[in-house]
Structure 1
Amino acid sequence: MLKGFCLALISVIGVLAGPSRAAEVPADTMVLLTENLPPFNMAVDGKNFAQEANIEGMAAEVVRETFKRAGLKYSMTLRFPWERIYNLAREQPGYGVFSTARLPEREKLFKWVGPVGRYEWTLLARADSPITLTSLEQAKSYRIGAYKGDAIGERLLAQGLTPILALRDQDNVKKLLSGQIDLWATSDPAGPYLARLEGVRGFKTILRFNTAELYLALNKATPDVVVNRLQQALDQLRAEGFVDKAAARYR
């Protein structure tokens, strides 16, 4: 799907000169995929499929405005599950996926534009839980729920923990309430936001164990001139305060 990008490379070498050269950017439409990860990206109706204006969230707003500023065409679709859309973006030229953590083990799998958001990795428990932790090592004796394919669950596995993986992160809200898991490995602000959507408040943070930035990950076949154009546009938006204002609307 990115054939046109490659054919047009000669005509777009000057694209980085500024917004006035937007006409030289390839006209191909990049396919952007995302998931329900409130408050960063989510379907307006809360379902697991949405397109274009029916997708909202702080990162979705930032990505939209970045493409607009860069003069690049795109389509945006929210689908389920995360693992599927992540692999589509990794394998298919012309595809991108957001919001995803830029981890060392993922660095060479994509080309990156961002950050489009920032979050903390946390372990949450019920309000009446007696659990106290100062390290992930201490969590090994507990049942931990995590989201399949997500960076947080992958990190737990890499560190020798055995999280119980759910196809939807919000499923862990009910599992924690019912006692099926002792801890929920999620993020702040996404975890508390998901819990509120399920009508649940009062989960407490047992451990904060990492801070990560979220990115738009583009297929490796994406020309560098396009990646640079997008990054330049995002940097301009951040300098103008757009990114902070978008985040504030969902806090």
Structure 2
Amino acid sequence: MLSISSAVGAENDLRELEFFTEAYPPANFIKDDHITGYSVDILLAASALVGEPITLSQISLQPWARSYRRVLTRQNTVLFSTTRSEHREALFYWVGPIVDIKVVVLARRGDNIKIDKPLDMAKYRIGAIRDDIGEQSLLELGVPRAAMQEAIDVTVLAEQLLKKRIDLLVYAERAAYWWARQVGIDADLFEPVYVVKKGDVYFAVNRDSDPAVVEKLQKGLDLLKQTDQSGSSRYQEILDKY
């Protein structure tokens, strides 16, 4: 079992960590030149509850593939919001869950695309974000990489789907619709035709980091989720804002 008391020093302090995320609303995104979202608010509140409040200056928002590789290879770094999967399980320490997630394959409404099994997708052009859980899940299901068209921005894929440059788009459902609306695309033009994965998203901590920081952050999150006599919690209050 991890133990906070097993190590000492600045590297055990949450305020010494670097956090990396992507534009993945409403979990994490830029608004008025500041990083915000429910995952960001949860992170800040959880760290404060254990006496080591994280600041926005510790958080960098950049394309997912860059953040993913950075945290895989650099000590004292944390990636969020990250879907926990069998493929990723041994790559990180995990703190969470933050919230649940549903990854789906979207098609243009009216195209009447029917997907009964994963390999049915192999005959279509599938838009995916490089190293995103959607792409990784399709590969695990046996869908060939040659069927996928990668991008680093889901708005690009939404526009390509609308313009019929791709046939399908794999991404988290809520976030895909949110992004489509941001670039003026009516989300009702798309429909889910296959559920790739249901799961939860977490804070993923580099494996070379001190396990003590993992336990601290988990403790803060658990405290945040504690309910009062009325059944409410600070955690739920944060989610309700978004």
TM category, shorter: 0.7 to 0.9
Higher relative contact order at CA 8 Å, sep ≥6: structure 1 or structure 2?
2
1:98 counterpart residue number: 80
Looking at structure 2, the residues matched to 59 and 174 of structure 1 have their Cα atoms a distance apart, in angstroms, of: 26
Secondary structure (helix, strand or coil) at the match of 2:78 reads: strand
CA-based RMSD of the aligned residues comes to 2.1
**Structure 2 unaligned residues grouped into runs of 5+:** 228-232
2:240 counterpart residue number: 248
**More displaced stretch, 26-35 vs 84-93:** 26-35
**TM-superposed deviation, 1:225:** 2.3
1:212 counterpart residue number: 199
Secondary structure (helix, strand or coil) at the match of 1:115 reads: strand
1:144-197, Cα deviation, whole Å (9 max, x unpaired): 111111011111123232321111122111001100111111112111111111
State whether structure 2 residue 134 is matched by structure 1 residue 142: no
Equivalent of residue 237 in structure 1, options 221, 224, 228: 224
**TM-superposed deviation, 1:9:** 5.0
Q: Which runs of 4+ in 1 moved over 4 A?
A: 8-12
Within a 5 Å distance, the mapping from 1:66-105 to structure 2 comes to: 66-74=46-54, 75-105=57-87
**Preserved CA contact (<8 Å) 1:148 1:168:** no
1:226 counterpart residue number: 213
State whether structure 2 residue 87 is matched by structure 1 residue 108: no
State whether structure 2 residue 23 is matched by structure 1 residue 36: yes
State whether structure 2 residue 185 is matched by structure 1 residue 200: yes
**TM-superposed deviation, 1:11:** 4.6
TM-score scaled to structure 1, two decimals? 0.82
**TM-superposed deviation, 1:28:** 5.0
**Structure 1 unaligned residues grouped into runs of 5+:** 1-7, 13-24
Percent sequence identity is: 27
**Preserved CA contact (<8 Å) 2:7 2:212:** no
TM-score scaled to structure 2, two decimals? 0.85
**TM-superposed deviation, 1:79:** 3.0
Looking at structure 2, the residues matched to 172 and 230 of structure 1 have their Cα atoms a distance apart, in angstroms, of: 34
Looking at structure 2, the residues matched to 221 and 59 of structure 1 have their Cα atoms a distance apart, in angstroms, of: 23
**More displaced stretch, 26-35 vs 96-105:** 26-35
Q: How many residues align?
A: 225
Secondary structure (helix, strand or coil) at the match of 1:170 reads: helix
Secondary structure (helix, strand or coil) at the match of 2:62 reads: coil
**Preserved CA contact (<8 Å) 2:137 2:196:** no
**Preserved CA contact (<8 Å) 2:118 2:142:** no
Looking at structure 2, the residues matched to 78 and 28 of structure 1 have their Cα atoms a distance apart, in angstroms, of: 14
**Preserved CA contact (<8 Å) 1:146 1:165:** yes
Equivalent of residue 99 in structure 2, options 117, 120, 128: 117
Secondary structure (helix, strand or coil) at the match of 1:137 reads: helix
Within a 5 Å distance, the mapping from 1:158-169 to structure 2 comes to: 158-161=140-143, 162-169=147-154
